[in-house]
């Protein structure tokens, strides 16, 4: 049976044990699919929602029904400037997480990375001579833009990994878009982020699909400067689900044209005439309907409610993977060599991709 010694101190191992108690009896192979939420994070969310505020304490004597406890009221952003303020702060914090700020980039909240990608595809100014260049390793959600682009008259170009690494694509002429995953969800391959500026130098706007990358890696937008980035936050923090973002450079966002408008995304509209005035705040012009404002608030505790600093997402992930190694080597001694070989890839693969990988390996290297 393979020996296993954790490279981490006993103190850290103990802290992790307490923050991820479910990992005591189970192992988790899908961290690239969705991160695990931690106990400290959930505790912080809970405390935040129950926090007594001085304002609501003052309300207590006015209430006609008995209450033992009132938390802070968190009204809808349509009716509360404090909720709006909080949302703005979270936008700022998200951008500082990606090493940039509200002057350079906007955070448009979406349901997930897919919705962010779709928003770009639907609002992009496709026209005569437009190209949509798509990495063959792009996630399905990225490839889906093809249908929107082609139906608007754009040319579709699929690029192999080698094409992208060697800069082999035709220059853009009209308004064109390129998409590639910063990290492939299928095999974990990381495209060099220098490809962003190489596409931009040949006339493309770039949609960097960072959904898989940022779950375990930092991303510096001031260095990389993509036009658009899509993320799903459950991939970083496990909780909340249903919250993602299109992070867009302000000049690139200004070039998008949204046809549909909905509650919150317009200053005014006239029903009888073909007139509406989009919201002056750029982000809100793209966010129709009421934001999931409690989930936006909970983002804070994914970012700061954990005992780990943000750079430790990678570290934490390694620990989880190492635990997989520990449990698995004890359970399947005959497969230990196979697992040792397999784990560096599991590092970045989703469970579905891992299953395919394992099946492939089993077919070619049957366990002894």
Ligand X SMILES: Cc1ncc(COP(=O)(O)O)c(C=O)c1O
The nearer residue to ligand X, 16 or 113, going by C-beta atoms, is 113
The bridge status of strand 155-159 relative to strand 131-135 is parallel
What is the contact surface with ligand X in residues (CB under 6 A)? 112-114, 139, 141, 181, 185, 209, 211-212, 232, 350
Provide, rounded to whole angstroms, the least separation between the CB of residue 349 and ligand X: 10
Nearest to ligand X of 77, 181 (CB atom): 181
Please tell me whether residue 193 adopts helix, strand or coil conformation: coil
Least Å distance, CB 63 to ligand X, is 41
Paired strand residues for 159: 135
Instruction: For ligand X, give the closer residue by CB, 32 or 319.
Output: 32
Q: Do residues 227 and 206 lie in contact, with contact meaning Cβ atoms separated by under 8 Å? A: yes
CB of 287 to ligand X, least distance (A): 17
d(CA 168, CA 329) in angstroms, rounded, equals: 44
Q: Which CB atom, from 74 or from 143, has the smaller least distance to ligand X?
A: 143
Min dist. Cβ of residue 34 to ligand X (A): 8
Q: How far is the CB of 216 from ligand X (least distance, A)?
A: 12
CB of 173 to ligand X, least distance (A): 28
A 10 A CB-CB count for 279 gives 16
Q: Which is nearer to ligand X, 100 or 112 (CB)?
A: 112
DSSP state letter for 191: P
SS3 of the chain: helix, strand, coil, percent, to 5: 45, 15, 40
Shortest Å, Cβ 242 to ligand X: 10
Closest CA to 230 of 98, 353, 132, 104: 98
In this chain, which residue has its C-beta nearest to ligand X?
185
The torsion defined by the Cα of 111, 117, 120 and 123, in degrees rounded to 10, comes to -70
Q: At what angle do helices 312-331 and 336-346 cross, to 10 degrees?
A: 160
- Please report how close the Cβ of residue 231 comes to ligand X at its closest, in angstroms: 8
Minimum gap (Å) between residue 211 Cβ and ligand X = 4
User: Between β-strands 228-232 and 204-209, what pairing exists: parallel, antiparallel or unpaired?
Assistant: parallel
- What does the alpha-carbon distance between residue 123 and residue 217 come to, in Å, rounded to a whole number? 29
Considering the complex, state which of residue 235 and residue 323 has its C-beta at the smaller distance from ligand X. 235
Nearer CB in complex with ligand X: 212/285: 212
Question: Where are the alpha helices (H) located in 20-98, listed in sequence order?
Answer: 39-50, 54-59, 81-97
How far is it, in rounded angstroms, from Cα 18 to Cα 319?
Answer: 13
Query: 139 vs 306, which CB is nearer to ligand X?
Result: 139
User: Which residue lies nearer to ligand X by CB, 209 or 227?
Assistant: 209
Is the separation of the CB atoms in 16 and 351 below 8 Å? no
The secondary structure of residue 203, as a DSSP letter, is T
| Distance of closest approach, residue 164 Cβ to ligand X, in angstroms | 15
User: In sequence order, what E strands does 76-154 have?
Assistant: 105-110, 131-135
Q: How many residues are listed for the chain in this entry?
A: 368
Angle of the 351-364 helix axis to the 336-346 helix axis, nearest 10: 140
Taking the least distance from each CB to ligand X, the nearer of 242 and 367 is 242
């Amino acid at each position: 049976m393979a020996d296993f010694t954790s490279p981490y101190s006993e103190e850290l191992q103990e802290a992790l044990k307490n923050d991820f108690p479910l990992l005591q009896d189970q192992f988790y192979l899908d961290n690239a699919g969705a991160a695990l939420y931690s106990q400290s994070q959930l505790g912080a969310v809970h405390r935040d929602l129950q926090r007594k505020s001085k304002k609501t304490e003052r309300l207590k004597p006015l209430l006609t029904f008995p209450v033992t406890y009132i938390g802070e009221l968190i009204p809808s952003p349509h009716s509360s400037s404090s909720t709006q303020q909080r949302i703005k702060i979270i936008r700022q914090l998200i951008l500082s997480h990606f090493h940039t700020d509200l002057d350079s980039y906007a955070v448009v909240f979406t349901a997930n990375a897919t919705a962010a990608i779709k928003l770009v595809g639907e609002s992009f100014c496709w026209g005569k001579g437009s190209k949509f260049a798509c990495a063959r390793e792009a996630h399905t959600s990225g490839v889906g833009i093809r249908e929107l682009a082609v139906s608007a008259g754009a040319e579709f170009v699929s690029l192999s990994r080698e094409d992208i690494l060697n800069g082999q694509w035709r220059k853009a002429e009209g308004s064109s878009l390129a998409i590639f995953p910063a990290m492939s969800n299928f095999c974990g391959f990381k495209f060099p982020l220098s490809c962003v500026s190489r596409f931009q130098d040949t006339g493309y706007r770039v949609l960097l699909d960072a959904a898989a990358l940022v779950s375990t890696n930092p991303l510096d937008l001031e260095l990389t400067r993509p036009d658009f980035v899509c993320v799903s936050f459950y991939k970083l923090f496990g909780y909340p689900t249903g919250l993602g973002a299109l992070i867009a450079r302000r000049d690139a966002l200004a070039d998008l044209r949204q046809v549909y408008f909905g509650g919150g995304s317009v200053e005014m509209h006239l029903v009888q005439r073909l007139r509406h005035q989009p919201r002056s705040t750029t982000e809100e012009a793209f966010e129709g309907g009421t934001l999931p404002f409690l989930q936006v608030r909970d983002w804070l505790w994914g970012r700061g409610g954990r005992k780990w600093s943000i750079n430790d997402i990678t570290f934490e992930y390694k620990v989880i993977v190492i635990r997989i190694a520990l449990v698995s080597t004890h359970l399947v001694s005959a497969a230990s060599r196979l697992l040792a070989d397999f784990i560096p890839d599991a590092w970045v693969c989703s469970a579905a991709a891992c299953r395919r990988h394992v099946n492939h390996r089993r077919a070619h290297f049957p366990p002894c």
